[in-house]
């Protein structure tokens, strides 16, 4: 049997979430509280992200080829 790539608990609800350590880390700073947040490899420009600490909603943008968060006015 091959090595599992996806978390089996998420597969129960037909979601493909990579196991811990399998997906590349994409960490950026929240533009409101400046805590480091994990976006994940599925983050695309134009999507919205809510910070788990302060609740601030920001938009994912690309800066220098890397994802970043921009505050929504």
Question: What CATH number did the domain enclosing 64 receive?
Answer: 2.20.28
Residue whose pair of structure tokens reads 């609740």 in the numeric block: 55
Cα 24 from Cα 18, distance rounded (Å): 10
pLDDT in tens, the chain (73 residues): 456 677 788 788 887 777 766 556 788 999 999 999 988 777 889 999 999 899 999 999 998 888 899 998 7
Instruction: Return the residue matching tokens 């983050």.
Output: 43
DSSP 26: -
- Structure-token match 């505050």, residue found: 71
- The predicted model scores a pTM of 0.62
| Residue 60 covered by a domain | yes
**Is 2 a domain residue?**
no
Count: domains in the chain: 1
Strands (E), 1-73: 27-29, 36-38, 48-50, 57-63, 66-71
pLDDT recorded at residue 73 = 74
């Amino acid at each position: 049997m091959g090595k599992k790539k996806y978390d089996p608990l998420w597969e129960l609800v037909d979601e493909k979430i990579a196991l811990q350590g399998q997906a590349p880390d994409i960490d950026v700073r929240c533009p409101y509280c400046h805590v480091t947040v994990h976006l994940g490899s599925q983050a695309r420009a134009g999507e919205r992200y809510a910070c788990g600490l302060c609740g601030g909603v920001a938009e994912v943008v690309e800066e220098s080829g890397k994802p970043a968060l921009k505050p929504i006015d």
